[in-house]
Chain A
Amino acid sequence: MSTGRPTAGWWQTTTGARRRRNAALTAAALLLVLFFPQINDALNLGLAGKAIPIAIFITLALGLNVVVGFAGLLDLGYAAFFAIGAYTAAFLTSTVSPIGYVHDHPVNFFLTMLASAAVAALFGVLLGAPTLRLRGDYLAIVTLGFGEIVPLVVRNVPEYTKGTQGMNPIGVPELPFVTFGLATEPWYYLCVAVVLLSVVVTSRLRTSRICRALVAIREDEVAAASVGINPVSTKLFAFSLGASFSGFAGSIWASYLQVIAPEQFDFSVSIFVLSMIILGGMGNVYGVIVGGLLLGGFDRVLAERTSDLLHGIGAALDLGLLREADLTKARTLIFGLALVVMMLVRPEGLIPSARRRLELHLAEERGGDAAERRANVEPD
């Protein structure tokens, strides 16, 4: 491969044994993912239904990674775009949609997915255009507010969204020879395809001049502008691209669950996705997947299983505390603890991006004056 990309992925920058090892690892992971339903059946793991939400959340994490990891923009309201995508899908395919025409003529689901992504991206532009001009952490505050507003609006306009009652049913994908219904396998493969697509898109973006411009803006916006990068439009692109991933994932989520209600999209969802990125390694596509698998796996599988185990031990030893223990209720506490430990031990994440790690160390060296340096265009 000699495409000559400077910030290329491992398959272009590393050579020899390391490269072979990485290729083998990827091949093994792909095989595992492709045959997961069969393995799951053979070993009777009972994880088929759990893998789908985990895959959808990994897609969310990959999209948020473009915003937070690549562009360095803290988006605390990412779930809002997830909601916008889900409701767009419902509006276009549900029999309870406020658009009457749709009741008899639901829009093709694959078109709906694209529409959800586009609508989410549009909201990303609307929200980002006025706020991305500002410096500092205003974006975090604005997105935090946006994340709160969207579910509230959904709740308060029941004539369109059915409010807290939720919208149901929602259209499903249609493919020849495949039925998207109660069987999990078609959904699983759809989600895997979406994750793979997201990996390809974000990896390609990472090695492109767009990401190079984003890295420059992240480090020094004034210098970036002085070499001809438009900071606002470049950040806006990253922000709305991230939003479109969320919208895309939202449409599949809605279709898979068949019912969507505002409380599925609250603040904790945004934080959950953000935690995946921080745990896995901001800016590194593979790190983000690992973070997503770990947190998603803990949330959907491990918390339940461990609680069952604790209940068993509690019953055997006759300890009331263990018998009652329910880790699923303590999930936010456990995520919080995981993040705190991570920040202390390995702030760059499990599989960090090399550049991010370097930036972290640079920030440490410079100490507090980095922010100051950014704020002041050196006076005469």
Chain B
Amino acid sequence: MTEDGALLVARVVSKRFGGLVAVDKVDFEIPRGSITSLIGPNGAGKTTLFNVIAGLYRPTGGEVTFEGRTISNLSPHQITHLGIARTFQNIRLFQAMTALENVMVGRHTRMRANPFEAILGTPRERREEREVRAKARELLAYVGLEGREDEFARNLPYGDQRRLEIARALATGPTLLLLDEPTAGMNPAETSALTRFIRRLRDELSLTILLIEHDMSVVMGISERVTVLNHGAKLAEGPPGAIQRDPQVIEAYLGRGAADLAKRGETN
């Protein structure tokens, strides 16, 4: 356990691509059980920081610890095994698999049958397959995809694909869920439904959630803590109300004329 209940801590994390500094010495914490949002204008380094946490990128400086353990030197699959799951900005489902198979694949890291047991079809392996199948159905029902188990992922409507990706991430048995722009491309009704769903995830499954989001009504509505990145560096951090009033943030992120818009988001 780490100090003051932080589940994940990033210390002076930097990521450079050649001459480009995408993430610049960012200190960042995700309190256990919180919904934390990462916001910032396009190109601010949000997804890069995300990819550093998920192990897709190795930071060029600093380190990331998860439950007190350094994870910035681990591979993505190892980090997933430790309990960090993610979705992608531009949905990356396995298109040629059914919805059920997508979720079952997500369970891979929690399965124990080795390849030889699989070939021999031992009772243990068969039982495990049955259990995983049942679990996958349960998760699909939980995200609201009951009855669509056998549809190919590619044939699902956009919103359902987002939900399926979340179900797949949940199947890995995470304690921390990283959602990269989960409401991108959704209409207001879908967005508010998903926002409620994210809160439900945290409350019912006692997850900690890190969100990258552009939709301010979502960010201000559900997050307890907001971190603002700009040009790769941390600009501000705090509860949504304070962030909304922070003149620097309004200047850099929302633009001067958008202060009114932010006010309207607050009253929603």
Q: Could you tell me which A residues sit within 8 Å of B by CB distance? A: 3-7, 201, 204-205, 208-210, 212-213, 215-216, 219-220, 222-231, 237, 241, 355, 358-359, 362, 377-380
Known: A4-B133, A229-B108, A380-B48. A223 touches B94 (CB 8 A): yes
CA distance A219 to B105 in the complex (A): 12
Report B-chain residues with C-beta under 8 Å of the C-beta of A3. Answer: 126, 129-130
B interface residues, tally (CB under 8 Å): 56
- Which residues in B have their C-beta under 8 angstroms from that of A4? 129-130, 133
Interface of B (DSSP majority class): helix
Residues from chain A with a CB closer than 8 A to the CB of B80 are 225-228
Chosen A-B contacts, 29 in total, with CB atoms closer than 8 Å, are A3-B129, A3-B130, A7-B101, A201-B119, A204-B118, A205-B118, A205-B119, A208-B113, A216-B105, A219-B95, A223-B92, A224-B94, A225-B75, A226-B54, A226-B56, A226-B77, A227-B105, A228-B77, A228-B80, A228-B108, A228-B110, A230-B75, A237-B115, A362-B96, A377-B51, A380-B42, A380-B43, A380-B46, A380-B48
Any A CB within 8 A of the CB of B86 = yes
Instruction: Give A8 to B255 CA distance when docked, in angstroms.
Output: 56
B109/A228 in contact, CB under 8 A: yes
A6: contacting residue among B43, B45, B76, B104, CB under 8 A: B104
Is B192 part of the contact surface with A, judged by Cβ < 8 Å?
no
B223 at the interface (CB under 8 A from A): no
Which of A205, A210, A219, A380 is the one whose CB lies under 8 Å from B94? A219
Name the one of B56, B101, B130, B154 contacting A212, with C-beta atoms under 8 angstroms. B101
Complex CA gap A227/B118 in Å reads: 20
Q: Select from chain A the residue with minimum beta-carbon distance to B126.
A: A3
Residues of A within 8 A of B47 (CB): 378-380
Q: Within the assembled complex, what's the spacing in Å between the Cα atoms of A31 and B113?
A: 35
Q: Which residues of B contact A377 (CB under 8 A)?
A: 51, 56-57
State the majority secondary structure of interface residues on A. helix
- In this complex, the member of B120, B129, B169 whose beta carbon has the largest number of chain A beta carbons within 10 angstroms is B129
Please give me the residue from chain A that is nearest to B132 by CB atom: A209
Instruction: Pick from A204, A216, A223, A230: contact of B88, CB below 8 A.
Output: A223
Interface positions of B from 106 to 123, Cβ below 8 Å from A: 106, 108-111, 113, 115, 118-121
Chain B contacts of A230 at CB under 8 A? Answer: 75, 77
Q: In the complex, what residue of chain A is closest to B106 when comparing beta carbons?
A: A227
Within 8 A of A (CB), among B163-191: 168-169, 171-172
Q: Is B98 an interface residue (CB 8 A)?
A: yes
Q: Output the least CB separation between B251 and chain A (Å).
A: 20
Q: Once the chains bind, are B154 and A222 in contact (CB under 8 Å)?
A: no
Query: Which of A209, A216, A355 is most buried by chain B, counting CB atoms within 10 A of its CB?
Result: A209
User: Which of A6, A7, A216, A222 is close to B56, meaning CB atoms less than 8 Å apart?
Assistant: A222
Please indicate the chain A residues that have their CB under 8 angstroms from the CB of B28 in the complex.
Answer: none
| Shortest beta-carbon distance from A157 to chain B in Å | 34
C-alpha spacing A210/B114, complex, angstroms: 8
Looking at B43, B81, B96, B129, which has the most chain A CB atoms within 10 Å of its CB? B96
User: Which residues from 21 to 60 on chain B have a C-beta closer than 8 Å to any C-beta of chain A?
Assistant: 22, 42-48, 51, 54, 56-57
Measured in the bound complex, the distance between the Cα atoms of B102 and A96 in whole Å is 54
Nearest CB in chain B to that of A3: its residue: B126
Q: Which of A223, A229, A380 contacts B109 (CB 8 A)?
A: A229
Contact of A213 with B94 in the complex, beta carbons under 8 Å: no
Q: A6 and B94: CB pair below 8 A?
A: no
Complex: chain A residue closest to B232, CB-CB: A380
A222 to B94, CA, bound (A): 11
- The answer on a CB contact under 8 Å between B51 and A209 is no
| A209 & B56 in contact (Cβ 8 Å cutoff) | no
Instruction: Other than A212-B108, A226-B85, give 19 A-B pairs with Cβ distance below 8 A.
Output: A3-B129, A201-B119, A204-B120, A204-B121, A209-B132, A212-B101, A213-B105, A213-B108, A216-B94, A219-B97, A225-B80, A226-B80, A227-B108, A227-B168, A227-B172, A377-B51, A379-B22, A380-B42, A380-B46
Residue with the greatest number of chain B CB neighbours at <10 A, chosen from A6, A219, A377 = A6
**Nearest-Cβ distance from residue A257 to partner chain B, whole angstroms:** 29
* Bound CA span A6–B137, Å: 12
Q: A205 to B121, alpha carbons, bound, how many Å?
A: 9
A359 to B97 Cα, complex, angstroms: 10
Chain A min CB distance to B156 (Å): 14
**4 smallest beta-carbon distances between A and B, as pairs:** A228-B109, A208-B118, A228-B80, A223-B92
**B145 contacts partner chain A, Cβ-Cβ < 8 Å:** no
